[in-house]
Amino acid sequence: MHGAESTAHTESVPEDAPWADPVVVPDDIRELQPDVDAYHRELRHARRRLRWQRITASPAWQRWSFPAGVLTGAVALAAAVFGLLVVDGSAGRHAAAPAPLAAPSIAVGQQGGLLPDVSFTSTIGGAVKARSLRPALIALVPPHCGCTALLRSLAAQAEEVQLRLVVLAPSAPDAEVAALPGQLHYSDVLTAYDANGRLANAYAADGVTALVVGRDGVVTYVGKQLTPSSRLELPLQAALLLPPTAH
């Protein structure tokens, strides 16, 4: 009796019951490879999660993770700022490129006129044409001037606007002038001699005299009897900002 009931109950089970699906065995075991790979991927992910949980739960991580993150961000920001400054400084050095020589109505050798077309002798040897130095700040110094502090100030002011400082002694080689490039600690400083004092005579130099030469070769400023407190930022900036004189 009980056997018959059990048989009847088994026969009444629906064929679409999920737990009653038959197990399909593939003909080729290689067909199971994607499932095996997925299984191993899940195992690897689980191991990585477990390792990360162990690290983040450690006292050292909880204590130092935030300071380390702040320090890393600060270093990255400093590197970015430094890179921008380097790029900006490199671009600035090309902003003072010389322009074609102007043809002003004012005579050569006067303020507002062209710099005289003369050559100097560099302290390291070789001739240098005056007009090839444009734009520049030219300091005409007397013999044995003892003016290193003043020239250091002028070099710093020229450096701010990316101009070359040219220190021009009026006569024979002067040991003080020859030593200036190493004493001023600025990269763009040229020292030379004007054997006949042609620029000093043309501009009636008195003490240390400064000539600001624009991009087009025009002398835009002449300053005499300079001291270490003399400030030339405005003439220097004007020489670069003013458009070249009409030809």
The model's pLDDT over 192-222, given as tens digits with 9 standing for 90+, comes to: 888 788 999 999 999 999 999 999 999 999 9
Provide mean pLDDT across the span 110-123.
91
Would you mind telling me the total number of residues written for the chain in this entry?
Answer: 247
Residue 7 forms part of a structural domain:
no
Instruction: Check residue 243 and report its DSSP letter.
Output: P
Residues 123 and 191 in one domain: yes
Q: Indicate if the pLDDT at residue 67 is higher than 90.
A: no
Residues 128 and 89 in one domain: no
Categorize the per-residue pLDDT at 191 as very low, low, confident or very high, splitting at 50, 70 and 90.
confident
Residues 88 and 150 in one domain: no
Residues 79 and 127 in one domain: no
Dig out the tokens for 78 from the structure: 């400093």
Q: Indicate if the pLDDT at residue 82 is higher than 50.
A: yes
Residue 112 forms part of a structural domain:
no
Burial bucket for residue 112 (CB in 10 Å: 0-12, 13-18, 19+): middle
Long-range pairs, 14-18, Cβ under 8 A, ≥24: none
Q: Indicate if the pLDDT at residue 225 is higher than 60.
A: yes
Residue 19 forms part of a structural domain:
no
Residues 159 and 46 in one domain: no
pLDDT at 137: 94
Provide mean pLDDT across the span 6-31.
57
pTM: 0.59
Give the span between the Cα atoms of 206 and 70, in whole angstroms: 58
Residue 235 forms part of a structural domain:
yes
Residues 172 and 223 in one domain: yes
Residues 227 and 155 in one domain: yes
Residue labelled with tokens 């025009």: 218
Residues 65 and 177 in one domain: no
Count CB neighbours of 22 within 10 A. Answer: 5
Residues 158 and 217 in one domain: yes
Cα–Cα nearest to 184, from 155, 208, 207: 155
Residues 63 and 151 in one domain: no
Q: Indicate if the pLDDT at residue 1 is higher than 60.
A: no
If one counts the domains in the chain, the total is: 2
Residue 85 forms part of a structural domain:
yes
Count CB neighbours of 24 within 10 A. Answer: 5
Residues 134 and 75 in one domain: no
Dig out the tokens for 215 from the structure: 């991009």
Residue 15 forms part of a structural domain:
no
Write the CATH number for 177: 3.40.30.10
Residue 108 forms part of a structural domain:
no
Alpha helices in 12-58 (DSSP H): 33-56
Which residues constitute the domain of residue 124?
119-241
Angle between helical axes of 33-56 and 59-93 (0-180°, round to 10): 90
Of the two residues 90 and 118, the one the predictor is more confident about is 118
Residues 82 and 123 in one domain: no
Residue 207 forms part of a structural domain:
yes
Q: Are strands 219-223 and 127-129 parallel, antiparallel or unpaired?
A: unpaired
